[in-house]
A and B are shown apart, each in its own frame.
Chain A
Amino acid sequence: MKNRARISLSIGNSILAATMGVVSVALLLTGLLYYFSFSQRAQRLIEKQAKEINKQIVLNYERYIESIIETANYIQIASVPLDWSLDQERLQDIYALNSQLKEDVVSIFLFDEMGHRLLGDRISRSRELAVSGEAWFTGALRDSSIFHFVADGAQSVSADRDEEVISVSKSVMYGQAGEELRGVLLIELNFQVIRNLAQKTDLGPGGHILILDGDDEAVYTSQDPNENQQESLQRALDTVLGGLETTLGTHQMYLNINTLSHTRWRIATYLNTDEIETVRKSMLPLALVIFGVSMIGTTILAAFISFRISEPLHQLQRIMGKIEAGAINTEVSVSGQKEVVMLGRSFNSMLLKIRELMDRVVAEQREKRKTELRALQNQINPHFLYNSLDSIVWLAEHNRSEDVITTVIALARFFRISISRGANFIKVRDEIEHVRNYLTIQSVRYVDKFTYSFDIDEELMDRKVMKLILQPLVENAIHHGIGDEEGSISVQGSLDGGFMVFQVTNTGYGLTEKRIAEIHKSLNTPGAWGTGVGLKNVNQRLQIYYGEMAGVRIGSLPDERTTVTIRIPTGEEEENE
């Protein structure tokens, strides 16, 4: 069993496995690529949208701040030619007018370097002395070139207003008695402005705006106070500038931080991106479902294709199985793929060859049998010839010339039939004639020792039978049955069912059961020539040609007679020669 061929997967399974392998890899790859590219695109979309929104918010605030700065500049320009000590009323008008002009401007002031009010509304008593220490004031003096924006939750310094304000301050020069002096311009903006601007944009659930000042303190947040404002602030401080995807509480957010021109403030916008995130997350299961469905579809298709390919092969296999079981004449007809059909055809032609070979073997076998038959028949002839010539010599010695003539004629005819122009099968009539000639010859030899009779069904007469089968029996009957007393030999022929039955009966002592059994046994044993050569020869020839059904039987009634019966199946004789 060492070199037994390894059996790999069946064709169907191989195709199935290969297809599934290729398809699943391809599907998995495309699925993943699709998912990642979608994710990336969604990401970019989020970023772009968030940045755009943030920029819009920043621009809204900047536009507003620029309008305030323009106001401040205008006040400066308008004030430059005027001297505080001389044109105080006109200056006061400029300040008052400008503060009224803009709805959001609560109040406008000018302070000197010491923090004393020079122009603008009346200042509340509580603040009067504190001005010089306030952030907007010190900032403006410390860094004179820029505007300072302070939103520390303080109320207006005006005595008449109590709104929460954003203080916008700038160091400015003013004229007093021909001198240029440094002062601080203060414009107070209603803090409500920031809220109003923030509310213009919808940032989704949990989305909000956070404004940080230059010191990273939260100036304003539109976030719900119930939510984690500290986390929002910390995230913004960590990021400083730019965009970032993050989670805030339960929400997915895109954080974007930008500076606000002139102010050193920063605006952080938290845009809720839950929706896009949800879509993105739902992509994965969707991709998996598509993958699964495609795989099932492919499996079915692949199974179908592999069935289509392997089924004709199975069909072929079944047919071959049938042929293996013996149905050699089965025609292979397989439909399907070209290769399989070709295989079927090749197999058919192979079968044809096999059948031809088998026929040839059969024919050769038959030929061989015939040769054997001839050899056996040839064994009889010389045997008989000696005896007959003995008889003729014996007759001639006794001058029985009439009998010699009869005998020689009979012998001549006997041989003519024997030869029968080489035919092995002759008509029963001729066979009987042959026996008759034989008996004629023998009766001459054994004068008055026996009588003989024929009783043959006329039906049998024209049937063909293997030649020289009766003569040996008759010879046997004469040899064993004829003794001192006059005996009789009868030859009977009849049809019994599917058999031709010939019986040669002779009177005499008969045979014991034991002896009959011995003879039967020796008849079927090749090479044992213990009994009469003739009987065995006949039995062999019958069986060689007609098969097991044919044969020689011996029956005996002790002290009465012995009957040798041969049975030959009908139907087979015709086909021969």
Chain B
Amino acid sequence: MKKAFLLLAVVLMALPVAVFANGADEDGSIVIGANIYSFADNFMNGVMKPELERYAAEKGAVIEIVDSEGQQAKLNDQIDVFITKGVDVLAINLVDPASASSVIEKAKRAGIPLVLFNKEATEAGVMGTYDKVWYVGTNSAESGIIQGEMMVADWLNNPEWDKNGDGVVQYVMLKGEPGHPDAEARTLESVKAFTRAGIDVEQLALEADPNWSTQHGNDKMQAWLSSSFGDDIELVICNNDGMAFGAINALKTAGVVIPLYGVDALDQALTHIAEGEMNGTVLNDGVNQSRATLDLAINAAQGVDVTEGTIWTIENNETKAVRVPYVPVTPENYQDFR
């Protein structure tokens, strides 16, 4: 009787401990603490999150994905909770790229491997502060290169695009946020593709919109069409699809057709391609970014070389980044991405 009481007491005492101690590894599988900077982002929530969940299940890992609601403060909390719970590895989609150093420091103190994905830390040299942090994303420049190559090929196949027949590409560019790595890289690289192919280019106008907005793209395109050089525009280069949609709208309103390219391969962009209003875009390959993120995370959790047994390679020791290639989306292949 006494023993029964004692047992009961011990069980009751131990109960809360057991309940709150269910962190990682209950069945030996790897537990990944992950976030999406905002579930409101269609690309992140619609492409990356489902693939993260599917691929984690395929790999036999347990992944918990939380919504940071676009607040770095929220993400900081979530990281703190993940660390307290004792996850094996963190897969973090930063809200504020400038806060990377604090997040990395936190993971370093806890000794948990950290894989940042999709949003690269902006601070120079911050990746070197911790030996177990890596980045999975894209190469900003590459999207520009691919976009450029696509445009060059189309340009060469469509001699009628050279409206004035001077052999020079007169283009306008919707740049996006000035200083943004993607915007700067794409602006530079897309044009370089022409010069590499021996085609001269002439920039008629360039618009920097820190908000990458559709509205601004529409407004600016309208202004350009009605400007002195409006009839000379032979090509519209947009550094993202959002601004491209605005430009398409402006073109449709004005009743003109000018070759137009975007980046991101959003669903709406595929529709525009199907309707012939857009000539190409570049797919930000969310599926492979998700897989690369998990491949690295699982390897890191197991303490082996992060790229071991994977198709990924680390770019260099400074950025410690795996760059997932962009994929060109054209009227010929857009069906594959629907």
- Within 8 Å of chain B (Cβ to Cβ): is A258? yes
- Within 8 Å of chain A (Cβ to Cβ): is B338? no
- In angstroms, Cα B180 to Cα A266, docked, is 23
Asked if B79 and A241 make an inter-chain contact with CB atoms under 8 angstroms apart, the answer reads yes
Binary flags per residue of A254-293, CB closer than 8 Å to B gives 1, else 0: 0001111111101000000000000000000000000000
Asked if A261 and B79 make an inter-chain contact with CB atoms under 8 angstroms apart, the answer reads no
Which of A77, A144, A259, A266 has most chain B Cβ within 10 Å?
A259
- In angstroms, Cα B173 to Cα A240, docked, is 42
Asked if B208 and A80 make an inter-chain contact with CB atoms under 8 angstroms apart, the answer reads yes
**Which B85-104 residues have a C-beta within 8 angstroms of A?**
95-99, 101-103
CB neighbours (8 Å) of A264 from chain B are 98-99, 101-102, 123
How many residues of chain B have a CB within 8 Å of chain A?
A: 41
- Within 8 Å of chain A (Cβ to Cβ): is B256? no
Given A51-B77, A142-B124, A258:B72 Cβ within 8 A? yes
Asked if B101 and A214 make an inter-chain contact with CB atoms under 8 angstroms apart, the answer reads yes
- In angstroms, Cα B80 to Cα A36, docked, is 23
- In angstroms, Cα B92 to Cα A259, docked, is 15
- In angstroms, Cα B213 to Cα A77, docked, is 14
Asked if B96 and A261 make an inter-chain contact with CB atoms under 8 angstroms apart, the answer reads yes
**Whose C-beta in chain B lies nearest to the C-beta of A149?**
B98
What class of interface size applies to chain A in its complex with B? 35 or more
- Within 8 Å of chain A (Cβ to Cβ): is B320? no
Binary flags per residue of A43-75, CB closer than 8 Å to B gives 1, else 0: 000000001001100110010000000000100
- In angstroms, Cα B177 to Cα A145, docked, is 10
- Within 8 Å of chain B (Cβ to Cβ): is A438? no
- In angstroms, Cα B7 to Cα A29, docked, is 12
Q: How many Å from the CB of B112 to the closest CB on chain A?
A: 13
| Contact residue among A77, A147, A242 (Cβ-Cβ distance under 8 Å from B79) | A242
Asked if A262 and B96 make an inter-chain contact with CB atoms under 8 angstroms apart, the answer reads yes
- In angstroms, Cα B320 to Cα A229, docked, is 38
| Contact residue among A29, A62, A240, A262 (Cβ-Cβ distance under 8 Å from B109) | A240
Q: How many Å from the CB of B97 to the closest CB on chain A?
A: 8
CB neighbours (8 Å) of B101 from chain A are 214, 264
Q: How many Å from the CB of B127 to the closest CB on chain A?
A: 13
Q: How many Å from the CB of A363 to the closest CB on chain B?
A: 55
- Within 8 Å of chain B (Cβ to Cβ): is A362? no
CB neighbours (8 Å) of A242 from chain B are 76-77, 79-80, 83-84, 106
Asked if A258 and B96 make an inter-chain contact with CB atoms under 8 angstroms apart, the answer reads no
- Within 8 Å of chain A (Cβ to Cβ): is B210? yes
CB neighbours (8 Å) of A40 from chain B are 16
| Contact residue among A37, A144, A241 (Cβ-Cβ distance under 8 Å from B103) | A241
Asked if A240 and B74 make an inter-chain contact with CB atoms under 8 angstroms apart, the answer reads no
Q: How many Å from the CB of A349 to the closest CB on chain B?
A: 37
Binary flags per residue of B48-72, CB closer than 8 Å to A gives 1, else 0: 0000000000000000000000011
CB neighbours (8 Å) of B84 from chain A are 242
Given A76-B208, A258-B76, A259-B76, A240:B178 Cβ within 8 A? no
**Which B203-245 residues have a C-beta within 8 angstroms of A?**
206-210
- In angstroms, Cα B95 to Cα A171, docked, is 22
Asked if A77 and B210 make an inter-chain contact with CB atoms under 8 angstroms apart, the answer reads yes
| Contact residue among A76, A143, A258 (Cβ-Cβ distance under 8 Å from B124) | A143
| Contact residue among B71, B102, B210 (Cβ-Cβ distance under 8 Å from A241) | B102
Q: How many Å from the CB of A493 to the closest CB on chain B?
A: 83
- In angstroms, Cα B83 to Cα A33, docked, is 27
**Which B107-161 residues have a C-beta within 8 angstroms of A?**
109, 122-124
Q: How many Å from the CB of B213 to the closest CB on chain A?
A: 12
Asked if B210 and A54 make an inter-chain contact with CB atoms under 8 angstroms apart, the answer reads no
**Whose C-beta in chain B lies nearest to the C-beta of A55?**
B73
- In angstroms, Cα B208 to Cα A172, docked, is 12
- In angstroms, Cα B74 to Cα A62, docked, is 13
Count: A-B pairs, CB below 8 Å: 105
**Which A111-160 residues have a C-beta within 8 angstroms of B?**
142-147
| Contact residue among B5, B77, B80 (Cβ-Cβ distance under 8 Å from A25) | B5
CB neighbours (8 Å) of A262 from chain B are 96, 98
Binary flags per residue of B152-182, CB closer than 8 Å to A gives 1, else 0: 0000000000000000000000000111110
CB neighbours (8 Å) of A263 from chain B are 98
- Within 8 Å of chain A (Cβ to Cβ): is B12? yes
**Whose C-beta in chain A lies nearest to the C-beta of B95?**
A261
| Contact residue among A55, A144, A214, A258 (Cβ-Cβ distance under 8 Å from B179) | A144
CB neighbours (8 Å) of A73 from chain B are 177-178, 210
- In angstroms, Cα B77 to Cα A171, docked, is 31
Asked if A259 and B73 make an inter-chain contact with CB atoms under 8 angstroms apart, the answer reads yes
- In angstroms, Cα B103 to Cα A282, docked, is 38
- Within 8 Å of chain A (Cβ to Cβ): is B13? yes
- Within 8 Å of chain B (Cβ to Cβ): is A380? no
| Contact residue among A144, A243, A261 (Cβ-Cβ distance under 8 Å from B77) | A243
**Whose C-beta in chain B lies nearest to the C-beta of A56?**
B73
- Within 8 Å of chain A (Cβ to Cβ): is B21? no
- In angstroms, Cα B179 to Cα A66, docked, is 16
Given A80-B208, A263-B98, A241:B123 Cβ within 8 A? no
The 8 tightest CB contacts between A and B, nearest first, are A242-B80, A259-B99, A73-B210, A261-B96, A241-B106, A58-B73, A258-B73, A143-B124
A-B contacts, 9 of them at CB < 8 A, read: A29-B8, A76-B178, A143-B122, A147-B98, A240-B109, A241-B102, A241-B103, A258-B73, A259-B76
Further 20 A-B residue pairs, CB within 8 A, beyond A76-B179, A76-B208, A259-B102? A36-B16, A51-B77, A77-B209, A77-B210, A147-B98, A172-B179, A240-B105, A241-B76, A241-B79, A241-B105, A241-B106, A242-B77, A242-B79, A242-B80, A242-B106, A243-B77, A258-B77, A259-B73, A259-B103, A262-B98
> Which A residues contact B (CB, under 8 angstroms)?
25, 29, 32-33, 36-37, 40, 51, 54-55, 58-59, 62, 73, 76-77, 80, 142-147, 170-173, 214, 240-243, 257-264, 266
